[in-house]
Amino acid sequence: MLIRTQLRLAAVLPAVLALLISCILWSANLAVDRAKRDADLAETVLRFNFELNILTQEYVLYGGRRIEIQLRKRHQSMGELLARLPAREAEERELIDVLKSGQEDLGSFYDLLLVSKPEARQQLVGALLVKAQEMRAKTWEFATIQHQYVFEFQRQADTIVVTATIVLGVCSMILMALMAQRLVRGLGQLEDGVQQVAAGDFEHQIRLTKADELGSLASSFNRMIHQLRDSYTSIDTLTAEIVRRQKAEAELQLLNAELEERVHLRTTELEAANKELEAFSYSVSHDLRAPLRAIDGFSRKVVVNYGDKLDDEGRRQLQVVRDNAQRMGQLIDDLLGFSRMGRRNMARQVLDMESQARAVAAEQRALEPRRSIEFTFLPLPPAHGDPAMLRQVWANLLGNSIKFSRQRPIAHIEVGGRAEGGEVIYWVKDDGAGFDMRYADKLFGVFQRLHRQDEFEGTGVGLAIALRILARHHGRIWAEGHPDAGATFWFALPLSAQDEPLSGEPSS
Amino acid sequence: MNANDEGLQVLLVEDNAADAELTMDALRDAKLVNHVQWVKDGAEALDVLFKGGAAAAAENQRLKLVLLDLRLPRVDGHEVLRAIRADPRTKLMPVVVLTSSHEESDVVRAYDLGANSYLVKPVESEAFMAAVRELGLYWMLLNKLPGDIK
C-alpha cells in the first residue's frame, strides 16, 4: 500500500471515529432530552393533580358552574398529558397503566361529585383526595425514573466518548508505529544501498520490492545506478580510447621524429650526392673536354703542318678523328645541359607563352636564312613557370620542327595552345620527317634518336631536356607522328603553381 | 701601340700542356705577341708576378694580359685572381679567364673576384683558335691600359 494512502487512512480514521463519537453523543443527547421532556411531563401531571385537588376543595366549599368547568377541563388536560407519556420499560408501562386507570377513576369520582348532593360530597372528596394522592405518588415515581434515565444516558455518553477517544488514540499510535517501522526499514535499506554505491560498488542492487513509494524509489535508484554504471563504462571506454589515441599520437610523433631524422639524413645524403654530382659534372665539363680539344687541335695541327705529307685518305681519316672529337664535345655539352636542367633553381612567374614562342621561333629561323618556313601562331594561353626553362622547351621543340622539316620546299609549322581540364596544353606541329609511333617511347630518352646522324644531326638530348623541364613543372609532354608525314609535340602545364619536388636542389 | 715591344706581354696560366700549346699557337699565328710566358700552376704564376728580383717583378707587373685557367694544381685560378686584385701593383691588370668550365658558379665567382672577361674554351679547334685570336686582338691591340695614352 502506498505511503500516501496509508497517511490518508491514518488521517481519515480519527475523523471517522470522531464522527462516530459525535453520532453517539447526539443520540445520547436526544435520549437525555426525551427523558427530561418526559420528566417535565410527569411534573406537569403532578401540578395538574395539585390543581385538581385545589379545585375539588373549592368546589366542595363554594360549588358553582365555573369551578365545575375548570375541574372538567383540568381533568381532561391531565388525561391528554397521561396519554403522551411514553412507555419504554415494563415498569413505566405499569405506572402509566395505573395512572391512566386512576385518571379514569378520578373522572368517575368527578362525575359523581358534580351530581351528588352537598352532604354526600365530603365522602367523595375524601376518596378523591386519596385517589389523587395515589396518583401523585405514581407520577412522582415516573418522574424519578425519567430523571434516572437522564443521568444514565449522560453517563453512557461520557463512557462512550472516553472509550472512543482511547480507542482512537491507540489505533492511531499503532498505525503510526507500523508505518514508521515500514518507512524506517525501507529508508534504512535505501540508505545502505546508497552508501554502498557511494563507496563505489556500482553492481549493488537495492532489494526493496514493496509496492509503495520506497519501492519505486528503490527501483528508480537501481535504474539510475545502472545508467551510472553504463556511463561509467562508457567513460572507461572513452578513457581507454583517449589513452590509446595518446599512445598512438606519441608513437606517431616518434615515427615523425624518426622520419624527420631519416629525411634529414637522406637530405644530407642527397646533398652530398648532389655535391658529388656537381663535382663530377665539373670534372666532366673541365677535364673530359680538354683531351677532346687536344685531339681536335692537334689533328688540325697535323693537317696544317704536315698536310702536304698526307694523301687524301690520310687527311680524311684525320677529319674523322676531328669530327668525332667535336661530336663527343657536343655530347658532353648537351649532357651537362641536361644535368644542369635537373639541378638549377626554378623561378615561378606568369609567362606570355605566345610572345615567348614567337621570339624563339624568330631566333631559330634566323639561323636558317635560306629556308622557307611558314609559321602559324594560334593564340596561346599564358602559363606559370620558369621563363628560361620553358624557353628551352620552345627552343628544343621549334628547333626540332625546323630541323626535321628541312627537306620540305616550304616547311609548315603550327604553334597552338588551349586551357583544358586544369592545365594549359601547347603544341608544335610540323610537316617534316615525322617518326614511327612504334618508337614513340624512345623519343624522350637521353641520347635516344630515331634518325641517323647523317640524316639529321643531333645528340638526342633536346627532348630529354624538355621532358625533365616539364617534369619539374609537374607537367607532361607527348608526341604523335607518322614517317614522312610530320610530327606534333604537345606539352601540358598545370594551371596552378605547385611546389617543385625535391629534385630541384639548388646548385651552388 | 707596338706589338713587338720588348718584355713579357702575356702570362698564360694553364696546367694542360696541349691547351697551352694550342693557345700559344693561336696567339703566335695572329702575330700578336713575342713574349708569352707559360706557367703550369697558380703558385708559379704568383712567383712570376710577385717574387724574384724586384726589377723582374716590376717588369712583370706591366703585363698586357693574363690568361688564367681556373682549375689548377696547388693554387687555383680564383686564388691567383684574388691575389692579383689584392695587390695595388697588379689590381688593374687585365685578367681573362680561359677555362673549360661552363659552370655558372665559376663565372659568377670569377667576375666577383674582378675578372675582365670569361671565355669557355671550345672543343672544336677552329673555334678555339678563333676565340684566342680575337681575344688577343682585343686585349693586345684595342684595349688601353693606364699609361698607354701619352
Chain A residues touching B101 at Cβ < 8 A:
282, 285-286
With an 8 Å Cβ cutoff, is A294 touching chain B? yes
With an 8 Å Cβ cutoff, is A275 touching chain B? no
Asked if residues A146 and A91 have their Cβ atoms less than 8 Å apart, the reply is: no
Asked if residues A342 and A506 have their Cβ atoms less than 8 Å apart, the reply is: no
Q: Is the pLDDT of residue A398 over 90?
A: yes
| DSSP letter (8 states) at residue A438 | G
In percent, how much of chain B has pLDDT > 70? Answer: 86
**Which pLDDT band holds residue A441 (cuts at 50, 70, 90)?**
confident
Nearest to B125 among A290, A296, A336 (CB): A296
Number of Cβ pairs < 8 A linking chain A and chain B: 70
Q: Is the pLDDT of residue A414 over 50?
A: yes
In percent, how much of chain B has pLDDT > 90? Answer: 31
Q: Is the pLDDT of residue A476 over 60?
A: yes
With an 8 Å Cβ cutoff, is A299 touching chain B? yes
Q: How far apart are CA A153 and CA A159, in angstroms?
A: 10
Asked if residues A430 and A392 have their Cβ atoms less than 8 Å apart, the reply is: no
In percent, how much of chain A has pLDDT > 70? Answer: 97
Summarize pLDDT for A140-187 with one digit per residue, the tens. Answer: 888 888 888 888 888 888 888 888 888 888 888 888 888 888 888 888
Between chains, do B123 and A285 touch, taking CB under 8 Å as contact? Answer: no
Q: Is the pLDDT of residue A492 over 90?
A: yes
Radius of gyration of chain B (CA): 14
Cell, residue A469: 623541364
**Which pLDDT band holds residue A420 (cuts at 50, 70, 90)?**
confident
Q: Is the pLDDT of residue A502 over 60?
A: no
User: Å from B123 to nearest chain A CA?
Assistant: 4
With an 8 Å Cβ cutoff, is A297 touching chain B? yes
Looking at residue A507, its pLDDT comes to 38
pLDDT-wise least confident of A260-274, A306-320, B3-17: B3-17
Higher pLDDT, A1 or B97: B97
Between chains, do B102 and A299 touch, taking CB under 8 Å as contact? Answer: no
**CATH topology for the B10-142 domain:** Rossmann fold (3.40.50)
Chain B residues touching A282 at Cβ < 8 A:
101, 103
Chain A interface, best mutation among B28, B69, B100, by max A CB count within 10 A: B100
| DSSP letter (8 states) at residue A285 | I
Interface of A with B in 27-86 (CB under 8 A): none
Asked if residues A477 and A491 have their Cβ atoms less than 8 Å apart, the reply is: yes
Looking at residue A131, its pLDDT comes to 81
Summarize pLDDT for B90-116 with one digit per residue, the tens. Answer: 888 899 999 988 788 889 999 999 999
What average pLDDT does this structure show over A51-65? 81
Q: Which stretch, A62-71, A167-176, A302-311, has highest mean pLDDT?
A: A302-311
| C-alpha closest to that of B15 among A292, A290, A295, A283 | A290
| C-alpha closest to that of A234 among A218, A226, A194, A200 | A226
Q: Is the pLDDT of residue B120 over 60?
A: yes
| Strand B65-68 versus strand A349-351 pairing type | unpaired
User: Å from A320 to nearest chain B CA?
Assistant: 13
Looking at residue B57, its pLDDT comes to 65
Chain B interface, best mutation among A274, A285, A341, by max B CB count within 10 A: A285
Nearest to B19 among A290, A332, A344 (CB): A290
Edge-to-edge strands of the sheet including A373-377? A373-377, A411-420, A423-430, A487-494, A476-481
What average pLDDT does this structure show over B59-87? 87
With an 8 Å Cβ cutoff, is A459 touching chain B? no
- For residue A293, give the chain B residue with the closest CA: B123
Asked if residues A237 and A469 have their Cβ atoms less than 8 Å apart, the reply is: no
Q: Is the pLDDT of residue A479 over 80?
A: yes
pTM strictly above 0.90: no
Chain B residues touching A459 at Cβ < 8 A:
none
What average pLDDT does this structure show over A494-506? 53
Between chains, do B125 and A289 touch, taking CB under 8 Å as contact? Answer: no
Chain B interface, best mutation among A277, A282, A288, A336, by max B CB count within 10 A: A282
Q: Is the pLDDT of residue B85 over 80?
A: yes
Looking at residue A488, its pLDDT comes to 94
- For residue B100, give the chain A residue with the closest CA: A286
| C-alpha closest to that of A208 among A174, A227, A183 | A183
Between chains, do A333 and B100 touch, taking CB under 8 Å as contact? Answer: no
Q: Is the pLDDT of residue B6 over 70?
A: no
Buried b (16+ CB within 10 A) or exposed e, A82-115: beebeeeeeebeebbebbeebbebbeebbeebbe
Summarize pLDDT for A225-267 with one digit per residue, the tens. Answer: 888 888 878 888 899 999 999 999 999 999 989 998 888 888 8
Looking at residue A498, its pLDDT comes to 53
Between chains, do A293 and B105 touch, taking CB under 8 Å as contact? Answer: no
Q: Is the pLDDT of residue A188 over 70?
A: yes
Nearest to B101 among A285, A325, A330 (CB): A285
Asked if residues B71 and B109 have their Cβ atoms less than 8 Å apart, the reply is: no
Cell, residue B45: 704564376
Looking at residue B107, its pLDDT comes to 92
Chain B residues touching A329 at Cβ < 8 A:
122-124
Contacts of A293 (CB under 8 A, 6+ apart): A325, A329, B18, B19, B22, B100, B121, B122, B123, B125, B128
Looking at residue A285, its pLDDT comes to 67
Higher pLDDT, A112 or A269: A269
Longest dimension (CA), chain A: 231
With an 8 Å Cβ cutoff, is A326 touching chain B? yes
What ipTM was predicted for this assembly?
0.80
CA B41 to chain centroid = 12
Q: Is the pLDDT of residue A508 over 60?
A: no
Q: How far apart are CA A413 and CA A431, in angstroms?
A: 7
Q: How many residues does chain A have?
A: 508
| DSSP letter (8 states) at residue A450 | S
What average pLDDT does this structure show over A279-305? 83
Distant-in-sequence contacts of A160-163, Cβ < 8 A, 24+ apart: A160/A21, A160/A24, A160/A25, A160/A28, A161/A21, A161/A24, A161/A25
Asked if residues B17 and B41 have their Cβ atoms less than 8 Å apart, the reply is: no
Looking at residue A501, its pLDDT comes to 45
Asked if residues B97 and B68 have their Cβ atoms less than 8 Å apart, the reply is: yes
Q: Is the pLDDT of residue A99 over 90?
A: no
Looking at residue A374, its pLDDT comes to 92
Q: Is the pLDDT of residue B4 over 80?
A: no
Cell, residue A99: 395512572
Looking at residue B56, its pLDDT comes to 67
Q: How many CA atoms lie within 13 A of A16 on its CB side?
A: 10
Nearest to A300 among B70, B121, B125 (CB): B125
Coil, helix or strand for A491? strand
Q: State the alpha helices, DSSP H only, in A116-212.
A: 118-198
The whole-chain average pLDDT of chain A stands at: 84
Between chains, do A293 and B128 touch, taking CB under 8 Å as contact? Answer: yes
pLDDT-wise least confident of A113-127, A223-237, A460-474, B38-52: A113-127
Chain B residues touching A324 at Cβ < 8 A:
none
Looking at residue A453, its pLDDT comes to 74
Q: Is the pLDDT of residue A436 over 80?
A: yes
